[in-house]
């Protein structure tokens, strides 16, 4: 398996272009199942998860064609779906595969989707997705590791659903399902992440009737069918935040291009509290920590617009190098401090208390080490720590990074980082 080798201690300076958001692209790709016409998606990132979702859609019968316009455009033709089963072999690789459930049941009245199972950051059940589909009239059975969903008359029926907990994937699945349901669906306590807004805006282009976009209450009037559309995937706010932290941790200055600071309000507030200066530009922002004296701060992860759990690990690396103490509280996932023991091996001073909090006491230096991470964002946290550390850091299990960071080495090298991939068989 490939490794990434970093020689730390270089302040990064330059420009980084942000890719299309993986977490927006995956539900958008699943949305192509809602119509027999063609959905064209632009700005799709080249990532392992996009390949996994493509394989899943292809085995359902979706024809995917690539255009060579150089901006990551794929056309999805779902006119001939011949298989309503999402097999374990694909779903186990990527939990977001469960996003095909809502569209398939909405369009065909039935589907069979493997249960995703647990993952490194928590148990991550899909019970709320199923509860909502049942409320819309689907009969759900769990058999041999599969969710088997069927409707009596071949369609879902709109209704009033209050999500018992804010769920991004649950909101996306049910929002897509509701676009083809009979009658009106109201989704309360819905997640309102920018990726959900992006999905809703694409669904509207496809002919869906949705109001309340960007809020916690979505009202959807079901349509008989949806039609073709072209949509550009929103830029990746988690990638943008990660590179802003790369500027901060190396005490450098990076212009983050093709990013929207408005989708990063909570991250911007925390970074500013630490002493990083962030200035909006025409198509992004500049993260500047040159000559900055960074200090610790307290942070709690929350659903959007709160501080994203997907930036918690990266921020932990930064706080480990800032002066003073910081308290980090993780409220979304129950096992999301797996990066801490690896950071400790590099010299960080962090105490984890119970499943949800960590006290970080900043240190003046970290030392390079051989490390490995259990998930995507934890891997990025180790890259960031490696960029700051003295000496050499080798990161194993690079496949996690390949799931979510397009051209990572190229983007960081362009800002002066010494980072290289070592191919291993
Ligand atoms: C999405 C993101 C992921 C991000 C997470 C939270 C994608 C592809 N992934 O994941 O990067 O970290 O949002 O912002 O967009 N839960 C239940 N029952 C359910 C559904 C969720 O208990 O049916 C719980 C989960 O275990 C978790 C919390 O709700 O503790 C939030 O999960 P959710 O928002 O659904 O995360 P994902 O959509 O899986």
| pLDDT of 364 strictly over 90 | yes
The closest-lying atom of ligand 1 relative to the alpha carbon of residue 49 is 8
Q: Mean pLDDT, to the nearest integer, of 223-252?
A: 98
Strand order in the sheet with 229-232: 63-66, 74-77, 38-42, 229-232
pLDDT confidence of residue 118: 63
Q: Which residues pair with 405 in a beta bridge?
A: none
Distance CA 103, CA 170 (A): 12
Confidence category of residue 69, pLDDT binned at 50, 70, 90: confident
Handedness of CA 386, 410, 28, 287 (dihedral sign): positive
User: Do residues 278 and 272 lie in contact, with contact meaning Cβ atoms separated by under 8 Å?
Assistant: yes
CA nearest to 49, candidates 349, 284, 375: 375
Ligand 1, atom 22: closest residue by C-alpha: 125
For 184, other C-beta atoms within 10 Å of its C-beta total 15
* The two three-digit tokens of residue 408, written as one number: 């990572």
Q: Mean pLDDT, to the nearest integer, of 228-248?
A: 98
For tokens 């001939």, the residue is 80
The closest-lying atom of ligand 1 relative to the alpha carbon of residue 128 is 23
The closest-lying atom of ligand 1 relative to the alpha carbon of residue 191 is 34
pLDDT confidence of residue 201: 98
For tokens 């064209």, the residue is 40
Ligand 1, atom 20: closest residue by C-alpha: 126
Q: pLDDT (tens digit, 9 = 90+) per residue, 332-341?
A: 998 899 999 9
User: Do residues 26 and 404 lie in contact, with contact meaning Cβ atoms separated by under 8 Å?
Assistant: no
CA atoms within 13 A on the CB side of 61: 13
Considering the chain, what is the average pLDDT of its residues?
96
pLDDT confidence of residue 55: 97
Q: pLDDT (tens digit, 9 = 90+) per residue, 387-400?
A: 999 999 999 999 99
Ligand 1, atom 26: closest residue by C-alpha: 124
Q: pLDDT (tens digit, 9 = 90+) per residue, 98-139?
A: 999 999 999 999 999 999 866 677 778 899 999 999 999 999
| pLDDT of 178 strictly over 70 | yes
| pLDDT of 204 strictly over 90 | yes
Q: Mean pLDDT, to the nearest integer, of 373-377?
A: 90
Ligand 1, atom 37: closest residue by C-alpha: 169
Ligand 1 centroid to Cα of residue 310, in Å, is: 11
Q: Which residues are catalytic?
A: 119
pLDDT confidence of residue 171: 98
Select from 128, 167, 216, 237 the residue to mutate for testing ligand 1; criterion: most ligand atoms less than 8 Å from CB. 167
The closest-lying atom of ligand 1 relative to the alpha carbon of residue 303 is 14
For tokens 């330059």, the residue is 14
Q: Is 54 left (phi over 0), alpha (psi -120 to 50) or beta?
A: alpha
The closest-lying atom of ligand 1 relative to the alpha carbon of residue 24 is 15
Select from 168, 172, 239, 315 the residue to mutate for testing ligand 1; criterion: most ligand atoms less than 8 Å from CB. 168
Ligand 1, atom 33: closest residue by C-alpha: 167
Q: pLDDT (tens digit, 9 = 90+) per residue, 314-350?
A: 999 999 999 999 999 999 998 899 999 999 999 999 9
Confidence category of residue 70, pLDDT binned at 50, 70, 90: confident
Task: Kindly give the residue spans of alpha helices, DSSP state H, lying in 92-139.
Answer: 101-108, 127-135
CA nearest to 166, candidates 241, 217, 104, 101: 217
Ligand 1 centroid to Cα of residue 126, in Å, is: 9
| pLDDT of 152 strictly over 80 | yes
pLDDT confidence of residue 117: 67
Q: pLDDT (tens digit, 9 = 90+) per residue, 34-66?
A: 999 999 999 999 999 999 999 999 999 999 998
Ligand 1, atom 8: closest residue by C-alpha: 23
pLDDT confidence of residue 1: 80
Measure Cα distances from 30 to 22, 57, 179, 192, 375 in Å: 13, 8, 13, 18, 23
Confidence category of residue 313, pLDDT binned at 50, 70, 90: very high
User: Do residues 171 and 187 lie in contact, with contact meaning Cβ atoms separated by under 8 Å?
Assistant: yes
The closest-lying atom of ligand 1 relative to the alpha carbon of residue 127 is 23
pLDDT confidence of residue 425: 67
Q: pLDDT (tens digit, 9 = 90+) per residue, 249-290?
A: 999 999 999 999 999 999 999 999 999 999 999 999 999 999
Give the DSSP H/E element, type plus range, for residue 28.
helix 22-31
For tokens 């085995």, the residue is 59
Ligand 1 centroid to Cα of residue 97, in Å, is: 13
Ligand 1 centroid to Cα of residue 24, in Å, is: 14
User: Do residues 302 and 333 lie in contact, with contact meaning Cβ atoms separated by under 8 Å?
Assistant: no
Q: Which residues pair with 86 in a beta bridge?
A: 113
pLDDT confidence of residue 407: 96
For tokens 């409320």, the residue is 135
142 DSSP 8-state letter: E
Instruction: Ligand 1: list residues with CB < 6 Å.
Output: 23, 26, 95-96, 122, 124-129, 165, 167-170, 191, 309-310, 332-333
Distance CA 267, CA 11 (A): 21
Ligand 1 centroid to Cα of residue 153, in Å, is: 30
Distance CA 44, CA 20 (A): 5
For 71, other C-beta atoms within 10 Å of its C-beta total 11
Ligand 1 centroid to Cα of residue 380, in Å, is: 19
Ligand 1 centroid to Cα of residue 145, in Å, is: 20
Ligand 1 centroid to Cα of residue 212, in Å, is: 21
In this structure, which long-range contacts are made by residues 342-350, counting pairs with CB atoms below 8 Å and at least 24 apart in sequence? 342/371, 342/372, 342/373, 342/378, 342/382, 343/316, 343/317, 343/381, 343/382, 343/385, 345/369, 345/371, 346/371, 346/385, 346/386, 346/389, 346/393, 347/389, 348/317, 348/320, 348/385, 349/320, 350/316, 350/320
User: Do residues 52 and 243 lie in contact, with contact meaning Cβ atoms separated by under 8 Å?
Assistant: no
pTM exceeds 0.75: yes
CA nearest to 374, candidates 337, 332, 419, 344: 337
The share of the chain scoring above pLDDT 70, in percent, equals: 99
Distance CA 76, CA 63 (A): 6
Ligand 1, atom 25: closest residue by C-alpha: 124
């Amino acid at each position: 398996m490939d490794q990434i080798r970093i020689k730390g201690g270089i302040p990064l300076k330059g420009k980084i272009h942000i890719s299309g958001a993986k977490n927006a692209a995956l539900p958008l790709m699943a949305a192509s199942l809602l119509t027999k016409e063609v959905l064209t998606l632009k700005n799709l990132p080249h990532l392992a998860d996009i390949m996994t979702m493509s394989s899943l859609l292809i085995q359902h019968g979706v024809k995917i064609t690539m255009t060579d316009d150089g901006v990551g455009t794929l056309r999805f033709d779902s006119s001939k779906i011949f298989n309503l089963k999402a097999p374990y072999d694909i779903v186990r690789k990527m939990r977001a595969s469960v996003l095909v459930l809502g569209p398939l049941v909405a369009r065909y009245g039935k589907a069979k989707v493997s249960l995703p199972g647990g993952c490194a950051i928590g148990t991550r059940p899909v019970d709320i997705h199923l509860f909502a589909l049942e409320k819309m009239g689907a009969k759900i059975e769990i058999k041999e590791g599969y969710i088997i969903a069927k409707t009596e008359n071949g369609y879902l029926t709109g209704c009033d659903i209050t999500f018992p907990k804010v769920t991004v994937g649950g909101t996306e699945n049910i929002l897509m399902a509701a676009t083809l349901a009979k009658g009106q669906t109201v989704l309360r306590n819905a997640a309102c992440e920018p990726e959900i807004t992006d999905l809703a805006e694409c669904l509207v282009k496809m002919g869906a009737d949705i109001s309340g976009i960007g809020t916690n209450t979505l009202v959807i009037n079901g349509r008989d069918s949806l039609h073709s559309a072209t949509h550009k995937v929103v830029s990746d706010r988690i990638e943008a935040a990660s590179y802003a932290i790369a500027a901060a941790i190396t005490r450098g200055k990076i212009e983050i291009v093709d990013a929207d600071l408005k989708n990063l309000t909570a991250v911007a507030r925390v970074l500013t509290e630490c002493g990083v200066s962030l200035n909006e530009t025409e198509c992004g922002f500049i993260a500047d920590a040159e000559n900055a004296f960074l200090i610790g701060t307290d942070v709690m992860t929350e659903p959007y617009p709160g501080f994203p759990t997907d930036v918690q690990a990266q921020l932990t690396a930064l706080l480990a190098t800032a002066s003073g103490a910081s308290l980090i509280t993780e409220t979304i996932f129950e096992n999301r401090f797996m990066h801490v023991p690896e950071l400790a091996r590099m010299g960080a001073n962090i105490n984890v208390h119970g499943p949800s909090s960590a006290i970080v006491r900043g240190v003046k230096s970290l030392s390079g080490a051989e490390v490995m991470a259990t998930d995507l964002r934890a891997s990025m946290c180790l890259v960031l720590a490696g960029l700051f550390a003295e000496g050499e850091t080798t990161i194993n299990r690079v496949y996690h990074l390949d799931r979510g960071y397009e051209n990572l080495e190229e983007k960081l090298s362009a800002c002066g980082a010494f980072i290289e991939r070592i191919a291993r068989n």
